[in-house]
Amino acid sequence: MRIMGLDVGSRTVGVAISDALGWTAQGIETIQINEEEGEFGLERIKELVSEYAVTEFVVGFPKNMNNTVGPRGEASEQYKKLLEDTFQLPVKLWDERLTTMAAERMLIEADVSRKKRKKVIDKMAAVMILQGYLDSKGSVF
C-alpha cells in the first residue's frame, strides 16, 4: 500500500513514492509532458503504479497566497480528474504553496549546481508534497 505524490507542471511531472508503511517519501523521477499536445505522462505513471502497487495519489495543488485558485491550480484539478478516470484510485489535492521554492532553497543549501537543480527540482517538490501529506496523517502508534 503505497501513495504516489505528483508535482504537476506544464512541461514536467515530479514523482515521489511513499514507503510501504506510509511514513517517508522518496523521489522517483521527473516525467516530461506536454500539456498543449495532451501528453500527460500517463503511460509512465501506469508503469510506476504497477511497479510500486500504488493505492492512492496526492497531487500538488498550487493555490495563490490569498487562497484563490489560479490557472495552475485549475490544471492540477484537471489532472486529478484525469488520474481518477484512468486509474480508479483515490486522488487527493494537497496545498503545495511554496514547495518548489523550498525545494530549491534546500538544493542550494546542499550546494547543488544550477544545472543539476533544474533536473531534480520537480522530483524534490513531489517529495515535499507527499511528505507533508504523510505527516498530516499522523503516526499509527
* CATH assignment at residue 37: 3.30.420.140
**Domain membership of residue 49 as a residue range:** 2-137
21 is written with which cell numbers? 508503511
Number of domains present in the structure of the chain = 1
Residues 6+ apart with CB under 8 A from 107: 116, 117, 120, 121, 124
Order of all β-strands in the sheet with 2-8: 25-32, 12-18, 2-8, 54-61, 91-95
Q: Residue 14: pLDDT above 90?
A: yes
C-alpha triplet 117, 130, 138: angle, nearest 5°: 140
- pLDDT band (50, 70, 90) for residue 81: very high
Give the residue-averaged pLDDT of 81-94.
Answer: 97
Most confident stretch, 38-42, 46-50, 68-72, 130-134? 46-50
Give the residue-averaged pLDDT of 6-25.
Answer: 93
Q: Residue 103: pLDDT above 80?
A: no
Between CA 110 and CA 119 the distance in angstroms is: 15
Q: What is the pLDDT of residue 141?
A: 43
Give the residue-averaged pLDDT of 62-68.
Answer: 80
Q: Residue 140: pLDDT above 60?
A: no
In contact, 23 and 5? CB cutoff 8 Å: no
Between CA 30 and CA 5 the distance in angstroms is: 12
Q: What is the mean pLDDT of the chain?
A: 87
Residue 98 φ then ψ, to 5°: 75, 5
Q: What is the pLDDT of residue 100?
A: 66
Q: What is the pLDDT of residue 137?
A: 83
